[in-house]
Structure formats: C-alpha cells, structure tokens
Amino acid sequence: MSEVFTKSMARNIYYGGSVFFFLLFLALTFDTSNAFPERDHRENITPQVAQGKAIWEENDCIGCHTLLGEGAYYAPELGNVYKRFGNNKEAIKGFIKSRPVNGIPGRRSMPQFNLTEEELDAIAEFLKWTSEINTANWPPNIQG
Ligand code: HEC
C-alpha cells in the first residue's frame, strides 16, 4: 500500500461514501414508509374522524395549536390531549364548549366556536384517533 494519500483514493472515498449513505437513506425511507400503515392505524379513520378533521381545518385550530408538533405555538399541543384529559371525549367537548374563560390575568384564552353537539363529537373523535397514532413519542414535550 502506498504511503501517500492520492487523488484517486480521495475520489473513491467521496464516491463510495456518497453511494453508501444514499443507499442507507433509501433503505431507511423504505423502512419508514412500510411502517406507516400500522403506526397511523388508518383503518380506524371513520367518517366521523374525517368530519372532525374537516372541522379542525375549517376553524383553523392549527392557527393557535400544534398537532403532533406541527402548527402554531400559541396554545397547547393537542395530539395527546385525549390522553391528557384522561381518555375522555366528554372532557374535551366540555372544555371547547366552556370557552372563553376570561378574567385570569396573563392567561391566554381560547375563543368560543359555537360548534354543534355533532361537530364536537367529531372533533373529539378526531383528537382521540390522533392520540392513538404511534409517533415514537413525538413531540417530546408533553404540552407543547
Ligand atoms: C385563537 C387561538 C385558538 C384557536 C383558533 C383554537 N384554540 Fe384551543 N386553545 C387556545 C388556548 C389559548 C388554549 C389554552 C386555554 C386555557 O388553558 O384556558 C386552548 C386550549 C384548548 C384545549 C385544551 C388543551 C389543554 O391541554 O388544556 C383544547 C382541547 C382545544 N383548545 C381545542 C381546540 C380546537 C378543537 C380548536 C378548533 C376548533 C381550537 N382549540 C382552536 C387557543 C385557541
């Protein structure tokens, strides 16, 4: 083996390394996309869950909240709110219905959305479904 580090050796390390990490990237991408169907339990997306997501979008909940880490940082993360509220859909509905709670200095307040009982059920069902996605504990903070 020669003592000098030649240009062609450097080139081989560069190309070899690029190919190796590109293949590793492809393999991990493949592995992740294979795991999705199980992790996002998409078979449980009922019409009510889909309706809840539509209401979530129409009312721009993401304008204040994050959902699984994505969104605005004004209000708490809601991907896990179903679990934080003791696996209780009624607690979520009650919270949304009872806003705003004013008069607490310095506390951010959530507006009243005047949702119907059916819409509240759908939102709660959507947040329940979201909380059951296997996110490998993402986001790492509990309450955004
Ligand atoms: C204008 C900003 C804003 C929008 C839009 C908004 N929220 Fe909120 N939300 C808040 C704030 C602020 C809090 C925390 C309020 C508090 O604790 O009193 C909150 C709290 C919550 C909580 C309780 C979270 C917890 O951890 O205690 C739920 C559930 C919730 N919001 C659902 C929704 C849903 C569903 C929508 C869309 C229909 C929505 N929010 C839209 C500001 C907003």
Q: Where are the domains of the chain?
A: 1-39, 42-144
Q: Kindly report the backbone phi and psi dihedral angles of residue 66, in degrees, each rounded to the nearest multiple of 5, phi listed first.
A: -100, 150
- Ligand 1 contact, 96 CB (< 6 A): yes
Helices (H), the chain: 7-39, 47-58, 81-84, 89-97, 117-131
Give per-residue pLDDT as tens, 65-123: 999 999 999 999 999 999 999 999 999 999 999 998 877 788 888 999 999 999 999 99
In this structure, which residue's CA is closest to atom 37 in ligand 1?
A: 61
* Predicted pLDDT of residue 2: 60
CATH architecture of 42-144: Orthogonal Bundle (1.10)
- Ligand 1 contact, 51 CB (< 6 A): no
- Ligand 1 contact, 97 CB (< 6 A): no
Question: Residue 1 pLDDT more than 70?
Answer: no
One-letter identity of residue 9: M
pTM of the model: 0.87
Q: DSSP characters for 5-45?
A: --HHHHHHHHHHHHHHHHHHHHHHHHHHHHHHHHHTTGGG-
SS3 87: coil
Give per-residue pLDDT as tens, 101-117: 877 788 888 999 999 99
